[in-house]
Structure 1
């Protein structure tokens, strides 16, 4: 693997924001052998910006990481399926997502960003292309968090499509938005271990709230983003402990993704080979690994 440049963008066309470093230049070859049909349930595609311009009102500018490079990483790590999550830097223009899905030969699914103005025809186009969910960002650095009326409106637009709601919170977000999440009729998945504050401990209020949401039977969680959650750094033992706890707690409602190429982070991008090897600790039996990477995403994302 090699580091990313800005593709064919003209020099000075844009500058990546602080917190958007290029991917790790030399990820290690994973020692774990992934089961056939393994799915990276959370990744992003950025640009190239001269082909798929970023939204004028974006809150960050990423380094270009086009679909070809994301596909290269997946082959290197051993994934044959993936879910591409529309990034807030692209707004509601899904051109880059649709381009990737069209090239995916049925092995890709998408998660969209829609708003109260998104027309039914656009939702139909997205669904036909392979989109199966919408993301709700509650992180102020990405957008003004949606209120209950906006959440109800956008979910109503896709109610007949069977899409899931992907919830992006951090800190005590799973506590603060717990009632809203319970009130969503659609299936729900919470991103990146809820990005809980591990200073609370594995029995703190946020982890208890996350487990209570899993107890509803309609909430899933992505046990990814160890590098975002960890307070100890690589190999992220504290975050892996939380992820393993959740895999044991709700083995049929857990998913995992690389989060490649890791936008909006502190410091350098993590080693994706290391993150992949952590799957052996998150799901230490063949059955758990098969559920986490194959059967759970196949069911949840309608592969």
Structure 2
């Protein structure tokens, strides 16, 4: 099995939360893996995840009493942030995003992402096989 054929299984809550969760609690790192027909994976990815929809994310957050979320573009999409934007849009004003960019990302692209709710960029050098932080 090659790396791009490996799959992962999303964990789902099976035990109710039995403690007080602070108001405004935030999941600060989650991913959306949309329909691969609409959100194709990056050819250079090292794994292929199972779908993780905005509806599943919201159900998980409801079960955990989490009000806000930061959706991070996973490495399986390369610099395509459309699945993350899809998740942010589905969640609404309680969602923010972290984008993956590359050397083709323009200042106007960054401005557009900021207006859409992205508040950071992800630098995941190891997944791309880059181990030199000077790059």
Which range, TM-score by smaller chain? 0.7 to 0.9
Alignment of 1:275-294 (within 5 A): none
In the superposition, relative to structure 1, how do residues 25 and 36 fare at CA in structure 2: closer, same or farther (>3 Å)? Answer: closer
1:62 alignment counterpart: 49
What is the 5 A alignment of 1:1-303?
17-18=5-6, 20-24=7-11, 27-139=14-126, 142-145=127-130, 147-150=132-135
SS in 2 for 1:137: coil
Specify whether residues 77 and 17 from structure 1 end up closer, same or farther in structure 2 by C-alpha distance, changes over 3 A only: farther
Matched residue pairs, number? 132
Deviation track 1:67-115 (CA, whole Å, cap 9, x = no partner) reads 1111111111100100011101011111111112222321011111111
Question: How many Å apart are 1:148 and its aligned residue?
Answer: 4.5
Q: State the superposition RMSD in angstroms.
A: 1.9
**Deviation at residue 59 of structure 1 after TM alignment:** 1.6
Deviations, residues 32-55 of structure 1 (Å, cap 9, x unaligned):
221111101111111121221111
Structure 1 contact 44–84 (Cα < 8 Å) conserved: yes
- Give the Cα separation in 2 of the matches to 1:104 and 1:71: 7
Give, in angstroms, the shift of residue 17 of structure 1: 3.8
Contact preservation (8 Å) 1:80, 1:107: yes
2:29 aligns to what SS in structure 1? strand
Quote how far apart the aligned CAs of 1:64 are.
0.7
Give the 3 Å change call, closer, same or farther, for CA 115–149 of structure 1 in structure 2: farther
**Which of 1 and 2 has higher RCO (CA within 8 Å, sep 6+)?**
2
Which sections of structure 1, spanning at least 5 residues, go unmatched? Answer: 1-15, 151-303
State whether residues 114 and 134 of structure 1, in contact with CA within 8 Å, keep that contact through their aligned partners in structure 2: yes
The structure whose residues are more often helix, as a share, is 1
User: Over alpha carbons, which structure has the higher Rg?
Assistant: 1
Distance 2:117 2:131 in 1: 25
CA contact (8 A) 2:13 2:63 kept: no
In the alignment, is the contact (CA less than 8 A) between 1:45 and 1:97 conserved in 2? yes
Give, in whole Å, the separation in 2 of the partners of 1:146 and 1:112.
20
| TM-score, normalised with respect to structure 2 | 0.87
Distance in 2 separating the partners of 1:78 and 1:21? 25
1:91 and 1:113 in contact (8 A); partners too? yes
Q: Give per-residue Cα distances to partners, 1:164-212, cap 9 Å, x unaligned.
A: xxxxxxxxxxxxxxxxxxxxxxxxxxxxxxxxxxxxxxxxxxxxxxxxx
Distance in 2 of aligned mates of 1:132 and 1:50? 27
Following superposition, the deviation at residue 30 of structure 1 comes to 1.7
Structure 2 unaligned residues grouped into runs of 5+: none
